[in-house]
Amino acid sequence: MVASPSTLQPFCCKDASMRRQFAAFLAATILCIGLRASITRAEMPSRVMIVSFDGLRPDVALRADMPSLRSLMARGSFTFWAHTTDVAITLPSHTSMLTGVVPKTHGIHYNDNKPDNKPPFPLVPTLFQLAREKGLTTACCAGKAKFHIFDDAEALNWKFIQETSDDEVASAAASIINEHQPQVLFVHFPDCDRVGHKLGWGTPEQLAAVSNADKDLGKLLKALDDQHLTDKTLIVISADHGGNGRTHGGLDPRSQHIPWIAAGPGIKANYDLTRNQKLVVATYDTFATSCFVLHIPVPDHIDGKPVMDIFAQAELLNAGP
């Protein structure tokens, strides 16, 4: 049956009440889209700096003199009940932090710097590689030479990867911030772990090392301030594992629990993430959250998830346009 011209009238609301309701709905929809776009542009971070304190057990962080870390807690969201990988050792766990997947998937099971290690690089893309593909600049500063596994092809614009101290790492990272302003920066402080292996976790010497590392964190925060990047940067503070006695590894809770702190524009201030009974943050989530704020599509295969609870406008961001 062919419709007559009279049946092909444009849609219109003849009832005044219906017209008002439709207009209100349309206005609310446009406002929601505009608000989310505005939040994404003005209040969401556009850069990421991840700082890992190697071997920092949460209670050690709370006992140590760490004013820089506490300042980030005050203006950010945090949990001291985050989880690392099941193996809880440095290289596999950091690889999971920067790829969003378990060690079985990324293939880095070794924890040394032997030239014949296989695979030489992670089997899945790292945050650095995905950022470069999106046209972002990247840098890695690490105090253990084995972190060269992240220096694959052209993944890094700038790097400082060698056996050295927290102080040297901080100096290199601050210089890179001041000179180049990388959009993705990963910084690894090694000394907490070294002192733990030498003298023990939770010792006065380890507390002193952690306090010094916090001063080095302060140097990075100052560099961001000096370059007017603080109000553009998501800062994530975490660790690869904890420890007990003079060792770490496996499912022992003293090795498993790590701190996780996020601060930056659009991030809830002084917000304890354990307020959400169902939320458990894992090290894989650092990768996923970084991808989210950088507008990098999160790969389907990953084990992490963006930690949406940190965002002041989480409901609007979850809803999407």
**Residue 43, CA distances (Å) to 49, 73, 105 in order:** 17, 18, 34
Statement: residue 6 has pLDDT above 60: no
Higher pLDDT, 10 or 296: 296
Collapsed DSSP state (helix, strand, coil) of residue 58: helix
pLDDT of residue 153: 86
Instruction: Choose the weakest-confidence range: 30-39, 67-76, 104-113, 252-261.
Output: 30-39
Confidence of residue 315 (pLDDT cuts 50, 70, 90): low
Average pLDDT over residues 268-289: 98
pLDDT of residue 5: 41
Instruction: Using the Cα atoms of residue 218, residue 296, residue 92 and residue 260 in order, give the sign of their dihedral.
Output: positive
Statement: residue 23 has pLDDT above 70: no
Higher pLDDT, 242 or 13: 242
> What are the boundaries of each domain within the chain?
46-319
Average pLDDT over residues 150-161: 96
pLDDT of residue 39: 46
Statement: residue 85 has pLDDT above 50: yes
Task: Give dist(CA 302, CA 189) in Å, integer.
Answer: 26
User: Rg of the chain over CA atoms, in angstroms?
Assistant: 23
Statement: residue 14 has pLDDT above 50: no
Instruction: Respond yes or no on whether the N-terminal peptide bond of residue 299 is cis (omega within 30° of 0).
Output: no
pLDDT of residue 38: 44
pLDDT of residue 299: 79
Confidence of residue 16 (pLDDT cuts 50, 70, 90): low
pLDDT tens string 163-172 = 999 999 999 9
Three-state secondary structure string covering 68-108: HHHHHHHCEEEEEEEECCCCCCHHHHHHHHHHCCCHHHHCC
Statement: residue 10 has pLDDT above 70: no
Statement: residue 316 has pLDDT above 90: no
pLDDT of residue 65: 98
- Average pLDDT of the chain is 89
Task: Give dist(CA 284, CA 4) in Å, integer.
Answer: 61
Per DSSP, the residues of 153-197 read TT--SEEEESS--HHHHHHHHHHHHHHH--SEEEEEE-HHHHHHH
Number of other CB atoms surrounding residue 181 within 10 Å: 18
pLDDT of residue 243: 98
Average pLDDT over residues 6-15: 42
pLDDT of residue 15: 55
Task: Give dist(CA 49, CA 3) in Å, integer.
Answer: 62
pLDDT of residue 42: 53
The closest of 137, 143, 141 to 172, measured between CA atoms, is 141
pLDDT of residue 234: 98
Beta strand pairing status for 47-53 and 184-189? Answer: parallel
Task: Give dist(CA 291, CA 50) in Å, integer.
Answer: 12
pLDDT of residue 4: 41
High-pLDDT (> 90) share of the chain, %: 82
**How far, rounded to the nearest angstrom, does the alpha carbon of residue 110 sit from its chain's CA centroid?**
23
pLDDT of residue 17: 53
Statement: residue 108 has pLDDT above 90: yes
95 CB burial (10 A radius; 0-12, 13-18, 19+) = buried
pLDDT tens string 206-250 = 999 999 999 999 999 999 999 999 999 999 999 999 999 999 999
* Domain at 46-319, CATH from 3.90.1150.10, 3.50.50.60, 3.40.50.2300, 3.40.720.10: 3.40.720.10
pLDDT of residue 314: 73
Higher pLDDT, 283 or 298: 283
Task: Give dist(CA 62, CA 259) in Å, integer.
Answer: 10
